[in-house]
Chains A and B, each alone.
Chain A
Amino acid sequence: MNKKVIINIAAVLLALLVLALLQRVFMPKYISSIHEGNLIEEYYDEVKKHDVIFIGDCEVFSNVSPITLWNQYGIPSYIRGSAQQLVWQSYYLLEEVLTYETPKVVVFNVLAMKYNEPQKEAYNRLSLDGMKLSMSKLRAIDASMLQEEALITYLFPLLRYHSRWKELTGEDVKYMFHKDTLSHNGFLMRVDTKPVTVVPTGKKLADYRFGENSYDYLDRMTKLCKDKGIELLLIKSPSVYPYWYEEWDEQMVQYAKENELTYINFLDYTQEMGIDYNADTYDGGLHMNLAGAEKFTKYLGQLLTEKFQLQDRRGEQELATIWQEKSEFYYSMKEDQDRELKEYGYLKSYGAIAQSIEEE
């Protein structure tokens, strides 16, 4: 090989290396805010032995605590949730999960049925950028892109994020190669409280039927689970906003009946769960705080145990060790959030800035 060829190869490799590093720098890190941007990618570092996988939007990643599910019932679980996760994204995330592991139960939160088409690039990014490259990811991108988006920018995100050069901070360099885990198996913890004062009623709709696209992907999810021998549980999490119409509820009841699935609207069980909307939400009813999430999870865990005969696996040494470590992280974060709340009056490091400014 002559010298010229070696130099050319070296030049190309160097260029690729520089681009790869630039991409690392320019990708948003979601450390000081929008923590949910990290949820999808955190899954890959997991020991993938989960009996239950949750998929869906903020109504799962804010409202369900896998640590509680383990500590109370010995059920290992993971939440593959993301902000405004659309039904097709849930489907492809599930498809991807099943290449790693086969849970006994998949729980899908049905709020996303209201969206029949892609909504917003920023939310696509929060769900898709964190996925490892796979056919599932490519199909998810294809199903999610808005008209003005381009596939290439998902494959080479530098093409999308180069405009962040003005916003780069030390955080972008610090977390280039490694980010701290922020969630607890996909659960984003918040211990602060903002009571429900008003429950907005939904605006009258011209058509309450969920769209064909939403149903298509729900059908695929149902089929995928049946083919793999997995129980699919459909839930409506007990968040009071966005408004969940009775007409929507009826469609889910009907769908579950036709497909021999279980659907539970937990808004109907708030009293049994002991949820107090004056104390158990951190943003006026959209998301549960830690107290609310633990109450909901305890109730849900009971149901999972009884209905799907999930075994208590706390006696298994390997899992017990893993979850002991997770519990320690969970309670140390709780302690830290309690401290911040006491010291600053709001959760300074946990994404509560916007609300506190609003309240000042």
Chain B
Amino acid sequence: MRKIVMILAITLFFAGCSGAKTSEEGDKETAIGAENETTEDVATPSEGYSFEYNDVTIPMNVDAAPIVEVLGEPVEYFEAASCAFQGLDKIYYYNGFELGTYPNAEKDFVSYVNLLDDSVTTEKGIYLGSTLDDIIAAYGDDYTAEGTSYVYRLGETKLTFIVEEDAVTAITYFAIVEGLNN
């Protein structure tokens, strides 16, 4: 009897201890069960790119609710079941930019900010229509070039510029989160 108990204890010990590591950002709501960080762990990134609009700072991968509340009524709003998480992806359209969120536990987190026209700029003054030289003068040359895109990474965020014929045609801030197809 003692042997049986020992074997069971050993097998249960191994079952309990050798769990696979799962996603770093925390897969909070899937039915597979979480053994990850909590929402709060990712709520306040220590460093990263932020978009600023009318004195509102919009960091990536933080709770979107207070930001959306301050920004006021969006021009348009879209939501659909998330492809990557349990819950809804949401897109808020404001004048000059769109703000995307992904669901994380009970909250929505900022997944990206995409600039839509030249009425808004990055915090360093780059806007749709700026040149590659403008970008490098503002952000330096520590970028990754992928085709027509120039990607700057800071913490768990990235700022992407697409440059075509020496003019910036797209500017997007992204949260770097596993499962978000950025």
Contact = CB atoms under 8 A, between A and B. Distances in A.
A7 B162 CA distance: 70
A284 B27 contact: no
Contacts of A14: 4, 7-8
Interface in A149-166: 149-150, 152-153, 158-164
Interface string B100-121: 0000000000001010000000
Contacts of A7: 3
A84 B83 contact: yes
A6 to B, nearest CB: 12
B114 A206 contact: no
Contacts of A152: 18, 20
B78 A120 contact: no
B33 A123 contact: no
B182 to A, nearest CB: 9
Contacts of A148: 20-24
A8 interface: yes
Interface residues of A, number: 60
Interface stretch (B60-68, B135-143, B144-152): B144-152
Interface in A1-37: 7-8, 10-12, 14-15, 18-19, 22, 28-30, 33-34, 37
A354 B22 contact: no
A160 B18 CA distance: 8
A242 interface: yes
Contacts of B147: 206-207
Nearest to B84: A120
A161 B33 contact: yes
Given A203-B172, A204-B162, A206-B147, A354 B33 contact: no
Interface in A283-327: 283-287
B78 A200 contact: yes
A117 to B, nearest CB: 10
B80 A286 contact: yes
A358 interface: yes
Interface in B1-47: 3-4, 7-8, 11-12, 15-16, 18-24, 27, 30-35
Given A8-B3, A18-B8, A286-B80, A122 B32 contact: yes
B86 A354 contact: yes
B33 A120 contact: no
A163 B11 contact: no
A10 B4 contact: yes
Contact of A18 (B11, B114, B146): B11
Nearest to A4: B3
A159 B146 CA distance: 39
B80 A284 contact: yes
Contacts of B54: none
Contacts of B27: 120-122
Given A28-B33, A148-B23, A152-B18, 20 more contacts: A11-B3, A11-B7, A14-B7, A14-B8, A18-B11, A30-B31, A58-B83, A119-B84, A119-B181, A121-B20, A125-B30, A149-B22, A150-B21, A161-B33, A163-B35, A167-B33, A207-B148, A284-B80, A286-B81, A287-B81
